[in-house]
Amino acid sequence: MENLTVDFSDLIAKFDITKLEYYAVYDPNTFTVIGVYPDHALEDKNNSILIDRELAESINEGRVRMSSCKFDTRSKKIEVKDESVIAVSNAALQRILEKRWCSVVDYDIMITYSKKNKSLTFRMHDDYFNGTKQNMWPYEISLKYVIASYNDPHVPHEIISFPLYELLDNKKKIFKKIELPDRFSIFSKNIFQYQMEIL
């Protein structure tokens, strides 16, 4: 019998994870989401809708409750109800990395600190305004940032907070007269992907 050999390295190289698509399956009577699947695992696409990868992973990882997601028949999108605030309160605190140290190119919010102007700018990615990404958090939730000594959230220099809708309505939020040391870190809840740059 002829031996078959499979070159797994070649298969892995050809597999492009960025092309993986996810579908949310919803109950046709209540429109509540009852499952999230990658496209290759879903045989019947009735009562399902294509969703972005970020929302799919947030549901699968438990950061967003599946029961709080519903299919909106008017917008033809999955809407997340206010119960997702629970996930925000339970989210872990993360240190936001500088852009030059980030291995992940994609981000949701870019934070830019200008030493010259002593300003801190929060800018939402353009994908949220051209339909590529969908916001899954309530507009009223508060985004809170602890600006602290380098790699130590227990020694804060500034604490900044503002509602999410200020970013979604205006694309960016600027804070002036923010004077920070040469080395500092910014910490926030792990509900968005962040990058930071210091100019």
Q: What pTM was computed for the model? A: 0.59
Domains and CATH numbers, the chain: 8-86 (no CATH), 91-198 (2.60.40)
The per-residue pLDDT for range 12-68, each reduced to its tens digit, is 555 555 568 899 999 888 888 999 999 888 888 899 999 988 888 888 887 777 888
**Strand pairing of 22-26 and 48-51?**
antiparallel
pLDDT value at 153 more than 90: no
Residue-level pLDDT at 152: 87
Pairing type for strands 194-198 and 109-114 reads parallel
List Cβ neighbours of 186 (8 Å cut-off, separation of 6 or more).
95, 96, 111, 145, 146, 147, 148, 196
Parallel/antiparallel/unpaired status of strands 109-114 and 119-124: antiparallel
- Please give the pLDDT value at position 84: 46
Q: Under a CB-based contact definition with an 8 Å cutoff, are residues 197 and 115 in contact? A: no
103-147 pLDDT per residue, tens? 767 889 999 999 999 999 999 999 999 888 888 787 888 899 999
